[in-house]
Structure 1
Amino acid sequence: MSTPKLRIGVDVGGTNTDGVILDLSKSSDPDRGIVAWKKASTTSNPSDGIINVIKEMFQDSHIDPEDVASVTIGTTHFINAVVEMDQSRLAKVAVIRLCGPFSKDIPIGIDWPPRLRNIVCAYRGLVNGGLEIDGSLISELDEDEVRRQCTEIKSLGIRSIVVVGVFSPIDLIYKQEETAAEIIRSIYPEANVVCSKEVANIGFLERENAAILNASILPFARRTIHSFQEAVSRLNLKCPVFVTQNDGTILPASAAARVPIRTFSSGPTNSMRGAAFLMQDHGNEVMMVVDIGGTTTDVGLLLKNGFPRQAAAYSEIAGVRTNFSYPDVRSIGLGGGSIIGRDKSGKLTVGPESVGYQIQSKALVFGGDISTATDYTVLGSSDVQIGDRMKLEGCSLEQNLPEFQRKVKSMLEQIVDTMKTSPEDIPIVLVGGGAVIAPDSLVGASRVVKPKWSGVANAIGAATARVSGVIDSVESTESKTQQEILSELSQRATDKVVANGALRESVVIAEMETFPLQSRIIIKAVGDFDYSRTDFEEIPAMVNAGVDGFADDGNHIEQKTTNGENSKDLPSTSRSLVLTKEDVMSYKPSVINRQWLLSETDLEFITIGCYILGTGGGGSPYQHFLRLRELLRGGATLRVISPQDLNDDDIIACGGGKGSPQVSIEKPYGDEDQKLINANVERILESQRELYKFLKTKPDAVIPLEIGGGNGLQGLIIGASSALDIPAIDGDWMGRAYPVSWQTTPVVFEKKAMMVPTCISDGNGRIILMTHAPTELDAERALRAALSQMGSHVGCAKGPVSGKNTKKWVVENTMSLSWRIGRAVTLSRCANTIDTVAESIIAEVGGPESARVLAKGKIIGVERIVKMGHTYGEAIIELAASQDDNGVVSTSAKERVIIPFKNENIYAKKIDANGKEEFLAVVPDLVCVIDAQNGEALGTQEYRYGLPVVVIGITASDKWTSTARGIEIGGPKGFGFNDLEYKPLGKFSKPRSVIDEFNVSKSS
């Protein structure tokens, strides 16, 4: 018997089920090796649609089932349920956090769209547990409390439960999430339990979000994927069954039923891979793929290598921020089955609701009673032969036709525009069964192409999907170098993907991630399917396949927490403001009598700028941004004043987070000091309270320890607390971020310790007050040793300084600088000029004399370790030979830039193809790495393999560079590079004050 060589690809969409049979050995032939293809309506039972499509292809082509090597299925079912916010397909979810005292004042879904949060986020319970970054315990798992929480959840009828523990991805010893899950299953066996560590990696809120989405869709996914298996079994096919996942690779059906979120974007990914397959004669050029199905339109950028552009370090799914591998695809509720109506103001609406797979019974053109996008398309074009045009007579659609066509064209142009990184026109490839509703020309398109077989591009992409293999290992570095370990694990990953069915010669390493504890390394390899393989096991039976698992389909369960909160009490939030180019250009901050009163727009800008000025460190400001936004929405006032307006005898507080930035993205802040919450204060505010309780005084204003990263917002948080209610200063002690608090400008100007007493708190009951120290370095060494035993991250309140000294030592107007940088990035996004966002940032920090682009390329390697509360390591960036519509492409010259870091980036060193080295920038000058796809800063904890980046160098403040002592403390010697000489990148330009520019004087 001959070796099976045919691959079946099936894509089950919300409206259509598409199938294709491919012989890839003939892919260069005019027919692309397409043996058969079929498009049919999706059925209510997906297995019926799959069976029908495959049967008809077999009949049309006389295929012998014995010749089929595999069946690969892709689906948009799961992402459709989330995008449509369909309560009938989304289960309510309860979350049990293993977190100790942390995250008490962060409700689940804090940054979700309100409607989706109210559908999904039903309950939150807090349990003692969680780990520190070094693998030690925050606290032991409270198993009795897990049982109590589970009993409460069961009484509410919620069957989808997420367990999320602080630093659970590195929990290889205690296995707290797994233990809690087993307890839940023993008490509540019918529950669907999801451990967050199985869904995503480091990043507490983002991992929790991803796990919640996974849990919400799990019951529906289990039923759907089981129906896929049934369909293949009933066809007497003996080949393996795969489901395509987000990265274009395939996942065994049984695994997909456990982590359906990994398939969320497989539909558009399949379409993009299919488009690349169909457009191979058009040359390797960057193009936009617009996949219009029956329910959604998915848009992504196809790179020259034929793969979709990957998303940034963080991805959004229906407005929910997550942190797992995901293609950069945007979805809108537009498809052939989109329902047409009018809103309250009388304007025509297209979607997002859709008749979906019922289009052939509900659309007007098929004799139904619901007007859809397909009805209008048939009416408007005689070339579209769908249904019975006669059935549209007398339906009064014609008068609305021009408005419908303008609306669809506008929707498509807008989504394409948001995906572009350049204002230049780009080829657009239309695929998908709903592509008939798209016009023949679009603003922003150099040409619009609809290739042959485009209607089944998604099935073609599924059939050509690659095999993957992942190695997740913890290795000791005592006897081997990091490079030796990576080489061995890469070989193991290659062997695994070959075992999973790939041709060895086709295997490449697709992803490589390292984690700071115990050298945990994750490597993904991918390769082409080996058609000659016949040694695959039979399709495994699904566990609990017949259990629906939906929770309370008819009754809304409010989000309840252990401290009595529920969803009605929570503010309606969305993650960020929606700003247009005109909004950004016309916006003016409110500055009255030299007090800057921050708005949410100001806060957005400052947050973006702070992270860029963090030079990789300072911790992500995202959590602090959410916290400040909630304060603003709760009525708080965030005030900023100029340091030059201080009185000489004013008392100026200072504080922020101290320790590894890796901790800050995983260990959420604890209890806030808000008027509405009667609870213990969180570690940042706790250290301030303890310090001024000891000093028996109150400060007049607060200055951030550093403007870079999350600490850049801490002055605002401290100032807005009910205990202090003081303004923050437009300035800081660093002008950037530094890993240690003795690398501050007060230390440059005074050798003795000027900021003692100092207080640190870990938020877990441990507080240390240092009343005296000879120098700030002595204080730093003692406190650093303590914080390494306190979770590697603490809140720190530095001793106050006078207004007079503040005016002498401050790096001025750095909050203004953050605002200007953030505004420039936001404007680049709105104007679709991300490809020149670096130049926009440079213009705001003084122009080419003060800053420049150091490198453009992609990260090809990252190493990290944590020691004494610092994250050490280096990033390796392969330079791009040129910049195209994608932003970066690989180069054969293999020039690289090395960026070592100690929390913050230390220098950027270029190594050419011949090994020649050139230092591009060195501390105290700023080395800032930003995501080339969106202009967002990347912290060192977010560096990962494959990310396209731009590296910007910015000249440091003259507070550092005007004296030998400043260069010694803040320069390369301050990081242990004693032989490295500092050479200024350029000329420092003092930031322009927002207060000076926008001040309006009003009489009291």
Structure 2
Amino acid sequence: MGTASKKTLRIGVDVGGTNTDGVVLDLSRGSSLDKSILAWHKAPTTTNPSLGINDAITTMFQTANISPDQVASVTIGTTHFVNAVVERDATRLSRVAVLRLCGPFSKYAPPCIDWPEDMRDLILGHYALLKGGLEVDGFLISDINETEIRAQCALIREKGIRSVVVNGVFSPIDTIERQEERAAAIVRAEIPGCDVVCSKEVANLGFLERENAAILNASILAFARKTIRSFQEPIKRLGLDCPVFITQNDGTILSGDMAARLPIRTFSSGPTNSMRGAAFLVQNELDEAMMVVDIGGTTTDVGLLLANGFPRQQAAYSDLAGVRMNFSCPDVKSIGLGGGSIVRNGETLTVGPDSVGYKLTEAALVFGGKECLTATDCAVLADSTLEIGDRALVKGSLDEEGIAKYKAVVKQKLEKIIDTMKTSPEDLPVLLVGGGAIIAPDELKGASKVLKPKWSGVANAIGAAIARVSAVVDTVKSTESKTTQQILEEICQDAIERAVVNGASRPTAKVVEMDILPLPYIANKSRFTVRAAGDLDYSRTDFATLHFGDSSEAEVQMDEYEKTARRAEKKTKPEPKEEVDIDSYRPTVKDRVWYINEIDLDWITIGCYILGTGGGGSPYQYMLKLREMLRRGDVVRVVSPDDLPDDAAVATTGHAGSPTVGIEKLGGDEMTEAQVELYKVCDQQPTHIISVEIGGGNGLQSMIVGASTNMNLPAVDGDWMGRAYPTKWQTTPVVFNERSPIWSPVSMTDGNGNVVIVPTATSDLQVERILRAALSTLGSAVGCADPPVSGAETKRWSVENTISQSWRIGRAVAKARKSNRVDHVAETILQECGGPEAGQVLWKGKIVGVHRTLRNGHVYGECVIEGADVIDNDAAADKQPVQKKDTSTAQPQFQGRIKIPFKNENIAAIKISQEVVNGEIVQTEGEVLGIVPDLITVIDAQNGEAIGTPEYRYGLLVIVLGITASERWTSERGIEIGGPKSFDMNHLTYKPLGKFVKPLSVIDEFNVST
């Protein structure tokens, strides 16, 4: 048929909660938007999405006289799957069984341990911890046991569960043993027709988070197949012979069959589509970062669109309906403001957060509704040029004063959330998109310009139509026989090839993101993460269409969903979490013994990671373990070092290894086993226990091991570091040097039956070297036990009251969040550490560079932070009066850049300047803002959480705190062992940040004598 039949048209459809939007693009017509956008459509979403898609495409075909044989692809964005989870809809969520391939590990963190209780009860139907799993170096923890798996399948069959998740330790790097795939084959054979999800297909490294994502994915599989079939039905009915794609979270596409297997990847695609569509609409106007404000019927979503056309991503973990996951999602904040927001004009005028949502065209006065006044009604009243509905129907609903109030409220809400998302004080272009953009003003504070481009109402559909194809490789590789650069080049090529296999055209496929993370304590191993993306190759004819196998299931129509989707009695709602009155809360301290509960544990966990100064590993998995111990009735006791008898025998416990191993191979019994093995060769039995370091995951170990049934020891409120340090000889007993070596005999166990005992050694440095040599052989994650010291020595040597200090820091963070004052969280933390004389805010800004390298088992590197306005002024308007922000003094002290060198932990904060010399960037060091042994800690400016050195990444908004070190470290020998020279920074001299203030003991403050 000549040129007319050439497939050049792309159809994008976004099926939202309120509206279904459609667009037809022909990018072969050049860059002019008027030429490339042939048709668009917006209509209320139908409960049966098939009808809405059919109507959208049919209408656009008629409008632009389009023939089906011109269409190259249809790409659909949808919120259906994420809504099923958020709404806890039992009609759309299946029960799931989980088979873990983990050997003796992870038993203290069973599946769904960190889920809201109602979600866990709704979805988790069965789980089992089985043999299997890999170490980080690829060696087996153990092989899978087929008989064991078959026995579990019989139990799953009996329970009538048809969705199964298989999750193996380090499965994302398992390319040889293929344990998950082998186990999945057994399950399919034993339970014919069931859905089996291998966790490695869903997400990358991060055991619990990957498992969480796999479970949610498995739970919505049946519903996803039905929904995607309903998407494809109108395509076939309309005679379109082209592939159907679904958009995923990162602005790229999935084939229909892939989306039916991995629907979870579509969860956050709506905001991404809008942002990508927005970039397309202004492609010839802007070449800088911009704020995209997507105003729908119910909510406003705001995200930062980077200059490369992709949205800024969230940090390492994302949260959906209270479930923590580890796949990439756009960093978007939402508020309850949209075209359907209900407006109430009482003593004060309010707009939202409740909304008429998808009923807008029925409920709004301007459309003849009688129910309530909406934001759309008010927008029509305020702007006589708007041609929406019948203006006469809304006349008189608000007087001039009311209209002015309405405009002020909407303007203030938008300005506040834009300010929250900004990364610097400078004004940014703000791009308004979405069907509700009509309610937004033409000028906003903080915006260099406000753009409302033509077709902005269907930006989400445009984003779907132009979505690209991507692939991600996340793996651990040995750098022993090849250079890091050689390996990176190979992985980049692999990522590009995978993108091409997924459907990208080879000429356009390129690497868009890469990261290298050397693994501490593991010889010659690094983690590589590479993402490649490219334009869809429309010359391909091999795009798969969906094959559902069971023809009887294919007969099921979506009208079933139409009948049940809004059936309220079928949905469960999350139980409201009991609010803690932080100001009046008192911990349980009786007769100078502090009995830890879950509230205390939450706060201590937050504080431990902040005191980790970037190292020590996240305490998250250990918090989960200790929380489960508390829930089963174990008693966790903490006592003051002041109350120790001089002849007490205080044991030391600690975990050693790589934090990267810790996110995959969750702890077993290695910590308590190390203590048991030590006391087989050590005559003196312990009476108390103390953690080697308070920073990071080790900060909880004295309480975990102490409360275990075979130890039953009170934990001492203190530790041997007051922070985290990378080596065992950097401890206060070694500083005091009253006997040497302190740390022998010592034991080390891997939790899998392997034990190392060092009966004696010539020095504490030699103990360190011996243990490090064995560490990688034992999987780079071990429990250690050190011989007891006396109560008198503990009182002289320990950094006192550090569990109390962690508790107070965590309480400060919790209080800041609850009161919507995270903007002051840094100052509040410092107040808990002794006030202005004991520390200071060293810097506020955005991470703009991270470099890492592995030397002698430790990760060395530096993080560069550019000064920026990171204040989150997100005080809810309905809780606090609106105050004008003073920008005249917007953090003038944080101008320029600093660097934070680290060796597992942060070493210093140093001002730097950069200049180009002979074509190369030369960095010059300036003022030292803080340096070890003082604590240099980095927290997330948005929530007050600590950010560890493995989590440093470009774009994070951070606050750098300096906290003065304990006087245990500020002697000449202490500075020698824990100061700059111990980190090979001989050119720097320690200068204290301030005056050390001993942490206030929780036991002293809250004790009740009986």
- Give the alignment's TM-score, normalised by structure 2: 0.80
Which amino acid counterpart does residue 944 of structure 2 have in structure 1? G
Q: Tell me which amino acid in the other structure corresponds to 1:649.
A: D
Contact 2:966/2:998 (8 A) holds in 1: no
**Given the alignment, which residue of 445, 457, 464 partners 1:462?**
464
1:915 paired with 2:950, answer no
Q: Distance in 1 between matches of 2:447 and 2:587?
A: 36
Q: Tell me which of 777, 783, 788 is aligned to 2:765.
A: 777
Deviation at 1:764, TM superposition (A): 2.2
Judged with a 3 Å threshold, the aligned counterparts in structure 2 of structure 1 residues 286 and 372 are, in CA distance, closer, same or farther, namely: farther
Give the 3-state SS of the residue equivalent to 2:922 in structure 1. Answer: coil
Asked whether the 8 Å contact 2:365–2:372 carries over to 1, the reply is no
Select the residue among 691, 697, 702 that pairs with 1:710: 697
Relative to structure 1, the CA distance from residue 848 to residue 351 in structure 2 (aligned partners, 3 Å threshold; closer, same or farther) is: closer
Report the CA distance shift for 1:543/1:615 in structure 2 as closer, same or farther (over 3 A).
farther
2:946 counterpart residue number:
937
Superposed counterparts of 1:86-165, under 5 Å: 86-165=89-168
Are 2:379 and 2:438, in contact at CA under 8 Å, matched by a contact in 1? Answer: no
Structure 2 letter corresponding to 1:466: R
2:470 aligned counterpart, secondary structure: strand
In the alignment, the residues of structure 1 paired with residue 952 and residue 260 of structure 2 have an alpha-carbon distance, to the nearest angstrom, of 30
Range that drifts further, 217-226 or 168-177: 217-226
1:736 pairs with one of 695, 718, 723 = 723
Do the aligned residues in 2 keep the contact of 1:735 with 1:814 (CA within 8 Å)? yes
Counterparts of 1:402-417 in structure 2, within 5 Å, are 416=417
Cα distance change, pair 996–208 in 1 and its aligned pair in 2 (3 A): closer
Amino acid corresponding to residue 685 of structure 1 in structure 2: T
Tell whether the 8 Å contact from 1:813 to 1:993 is kept in structure 2 after alignment. yes
1:812-827 equivalences under 5 Å are: 812-827=800-815
Secondary structure in structure 2 of the residue aligned to 1:880 = strand
Q: Match for 2:296 among 286, 292, 296?
A: 292
- The Cα of 1:650 is off from its aligned counterpart by 2.3
The 5 Å alignment of 1:642-791 reads 642-670=640-668, 682-692=669-679, 699-750=686-737, 751-791=739-779
Structure 1 residues 30 and 100, CA, compared in 2 at 3 Å: closer, same or farther?
closer
Q: Of 187, 209, 213, which aligns to 1:210?
A: 213
Q: Which range is displaced more, 326-335 or 181-190?
A: 326-335
Post-superposition shift, 1:23? 4.7
Q: Is the 8 Å Cα contact of residues 22 and 461 (structure 2) preserved in structure 1?
A: yes
- Deviation track 1:799-839 (CA, whole Å, cap 9, x = no partner) reads 11111111111122322332343344444444555566555
Return 228-237 or 846-855, whichever deviates more.
Answer: 846-855
Decide whether aligned partners of structure 1 residues 506 and 666 sit closer, same or farther in structure 2, where only a CA change above 3 A counts.
Answer: closer
**Contact 2:297–2:355 under 8 Å retained in 1:** no
Partner deviation per Cα, 1:578-634 (whole Å, 9 max, x = no partner): 67xxx5566565556654444434322221121122233222101122233334445
Letter in 2 for 1:250: I
Flag structure 2 segments of 5+ consecutive residues without an equivalent: 344-349, 395-401, 562-573, 874-889, 916-920
Q: 1:594 touches 1:995 (CA, 8 Å); kept in 2? A: no
Report the Cα offset of residue 726 of structure 1.
4.1
Asked if 1:969 corresponds to 2:957, the answer is no
Shift of 1:209: 0.5
Letter in 2 for 1:904: E
Counterpart residue number, 2:905:
904
Q: Deviations over 1:220-279 (max 9, x none)?
A: 222323333443344444554332111122233332222211110001221233345557
Per-residue CA distance 1:459-481 (angstroms, 9 max, x = gap): 12223333424456676534542
2: CA distance, partners of 1:390 / 1:935: 50
Cα distance in 2, alignment partners of residues 998 and 278 from structure 1: 63
Displacement after TM superposition at 1:107 (Å): 3.0
**Retained in 2: the 8 A contact 1:687–1:795?**
yes
Q: 1:495–1:110: structure 2 CA closer, same or farther, 3 Å change rule?
A: closer
Q: Report the CA distance shift for 1:446/1:928 in structure 2 as closer, same or farther (over 3 A).
A: same
Q: What is the deviation of 1:10?
A: 0.8
2:483 corresponding residue in structure 1:
481
Q: Which amino acid aligns with 1:308?
A: P
Q: Check whether the contact 1:315–1:326 (CA below 8 A) recurs between aligned residues.
A: yes
Task: Give a deviation string over 1:691-723, Cα, whole Å, max 9, x none.
Answer: 456656654432211011010111222333344
Alpha-carbon offset, residue 210 of structure 1: 0.9
Cα pair 1:617 1:940 within 8 Å, conserved: yes
1:543 pairs with 2:552: no
Shift of 1:768: 4.2
Whether the 8 Å CA contact 1:896–1:912 is kept in 2: the answer is no
Give the letter aligned to residue 200 of structure 1.
Answer: A
Distance in 2 of aligned mates of 1:263 and 1:243: 7
C-alpha distance in 2 between matches for 1:35 and 1:983: 67
The 8 Å contact of residues 159 and 191 in structure 1, kept in 2 or not, is answered as: yes
Say which of 218, 225, 228 aligns to 1:225.
228
1:109/1:996 CA distance change after superposition, 3 Å: closer
Quote the offset at 1:24 in angstroms. Answer: 5.5
User: Structure 1, residues 709-747: CA drift from partner, whole Å, max 9, x if none?
Assistant: 010111222333344444333321012112332221111
Indicate how the Cα distance of structure 1 residues 653 and 534 shifts in structure 2: closer, same or farther if over 3 A, else same. Answer: closer
CA gap of 1:801–1:916, structure 2 versus 1, over 3 A, is: same
Instruction: Specify every segment of 5 or more residues in structure 1 that has no aligned partner in the other structure, as ranges.
Output: 341-347, 393-400, 555-571, 671-681
Q: 2:19 matched to which residue of 1?
A: 16
Q: 1:857 aligns with which of 833, 846, 855?
A: 846
Q: Distance in 2 between matches of 1:694 and 1:32?
A: 82
> Alpha carbons of 1:193 and 1:305: their partners in 2 closer, same or farther (altered >3 Å)?
same
8 Å CA contact 1:245–1:262 kept in 2: the answer is yes
Mark the CA change 1:272 to 1:851 in structure 2 (over 3 Å): closer, same or farther: same
Q: Contact 1:858–1:949 (CA<8 Å) still a contact in 2?
A: yes
Residues 1:291 and 1:800: Cα distance change in structure 2 (over 3 Å)? farther
The 8 Å contact of residues 209 and 320 in structure 1, kept in 2 or not, is answered as: yes
Q: Cα offset for 1:104?
A: 2.4
* Distance of aligned partners of 1:310 and 1:826 in 2 relative to their CA distance in 1, 3 Å threshold: farther
Preserved contact between residue 863 and residue 875 of structure 1 (Cα < 8 Å): yes
8 A contact 1:112–1:573 mirrored in 2: no
**Aligned residues of 1:84 and 1:352 also touching (Cα < 8 A):** no
1:880 lines up with 2:887 in the alignment: no
Is the deviation greater in 626-635 or in 733-742?
626-635
* Residues 913, 923 of structure 2: 8 Å contact kept: yes
Q: Is the 8 A contact 1:421 1:834 kept in 2?
A: no
Q: Secondary structure at the match of 1:206?
A: helix
Counterpart secondary structure, 1:959: coil
Change in Cα spacing, 1:829 to 1:510, as seen in structure 2 (3 Å) is: farther
CA deviations over 1:462-519 (Å, ceiling 9, x no partner): 2333342445667653454213433454466457657844695795623435574854
The CA distance in 2 between the partners of 1:849 and 1:808, in whole Å, is: 21
Is the contact made by 1:615 and 1:904 (CA closer than 8 Å) also made in structure 2?
yes
Which residue of structure 1 lines up, in the alignment, with residue 999 of structure 2? 993
Opposite residue 970 of structure 1, the aligned amino acid is G
Structure 1: which amino acid aligns with 2:130? V
Question: How far apart, in 1, do the equivalents of 2:91 and 2:783 lie?
Answer: 44
Aligned partner letter, 1:935: G
Q: CA deviation at 1:73?
A: 1.4
Task: Provide the C-alpha distance between the structure 1 equivalents of 2:219 and 2:412, rounded to a whole number of angstroms.
Answer: 29
C-alpha RMSD over aligned residues: 4.9
The corresponding residue for 1:801 is 789
